[in-house]
Structure 1
Amino acid sequence: MDILVLAARFLFSMIFLFSGLGHFTQTEQMAQYAASKKVPAPKLGVIVTGIMLMLGGLSVLLGAYVEIGALLIVVFLVPTSFLMHNFWTIKDPMMKQNDMIMFMKNMALTGAAILIWYLYKVVPNVPLSIN
């Protein structure tokens, strides 16, 4: 059963690692999109959040400093959801639906990150982790 913990951490962390990588391989495009959403200092924001995503994803994947990594993920997801996926302000039905799906996905991932944080706070030796 211990392998399930590792598999779950792997599956959960992949979205953050790949998204973080995208922040560095597509910085200009992401900064332009962030600017269109009125995010202040969009390029800096893309770089900082890319670092947060990579560190958070790596910590969960490796099982090292997971409490910090999970909190980095939460701190990324909550404001990003409200700033970048504010579906309630969008008129076009297709774009509104897409942003609503992204918002809800981010809220679900936020809940999962909080559960991971809690697990590592209360379970003394989580299997297959670097503690």
Structure 2
Amino acid sequence: MILRRVARPLLATIFVTGGINALRQAEGHAKAAEPFLNSAFDKVGDVVPEQVPRDPVTIIRIDAAVKIGAGLALAAGKAPRLAAGLLLGSLVPTTLAAHSFWTIKDPGERQQQQIQFFKNASVAGGLLLAVSDTAGKPSAAWRARHAAKDVGHTAEKLGRKAEKRAKKLARRAEKALPH
């Protein structure tokens, strides 16, 4: 549909450009994200595997790569639901780290960060729609339910056939036995 061909690239643009910007300025982004990352690792660090990097610059670079890769995939319509899910997973911590307006005292800066926060919340809404968009095809859950029903109907038919066959064989055996 033409709507998807236009909407997906428009939705992806902010992520691709943001990812490129983050790669170019990884140190600056890392410095801004460091308090959030430290707080997050303090809270859940004991359940996060050791293999997960804790260096803010590395995390920013990984996040940037996800944004660029998933953004391009979404724009191109390649695995769009997965791409939108990855972008949503990237957007939430980015928003909390960069736009926590509730911690800011200066009214002007607070208002700017509040605008950015709600802009990201709006983009998250678009991503949720993209995640759930099956392009008119039945969802995996729908297909699974119907496959289960089909298997049940098939098993029921096979059971009836087996029962008829068993009765038929029993009648034959009864006729074959001397009385």
Which TM-score bucket, shorter chain as reference?
A: 0.7 to 0.9
The size of the alignment, in residue pairs, is: 122
Aligned partner of 1:44 in structure 2 is 58
Compute the TM-score of the two structures, normalised by the length of structure 2.
0.63
Rg comparison, structure with higher value: 2
Distance 2:130 2:97 in 1: 24
Distance 2:85 2:97 in 1: 19
Residue 123 of structure 2 is aligned to residue 124 of structure 1: no
Which runs of structure 2 are paired with 1:102-117 in the superposition (5 Å)? 102-117=116-131
Runs of 5+ consecutive residues of structure 1 not aligned to the other structure: 126-131
Aligned partner of 1:79 in structure 2 is 93
Compute the TM-score of the two structures, normalised by the length of structure 1.
0.84
Distance 2:25 2:114 in 1: 23
Larger relative contact order (Cα-Cα within 8 Å, sequence gap ≥ 6): 1
Aligned partner of 2:104 in structure 1 is 90
Distance 1:11 1:67 in 2: 15
Residue 30 of structure 2 is aligned to residue 31 of structure 1: yes
Secondary structure of the residue aligned to 2:137 is coil
Moved over 3 A (4+): none
Secondary structure of the residue aligned to 2:37 is coil
- Aligned-pair distance for 1:123? 2.3
RMSD: 1.7
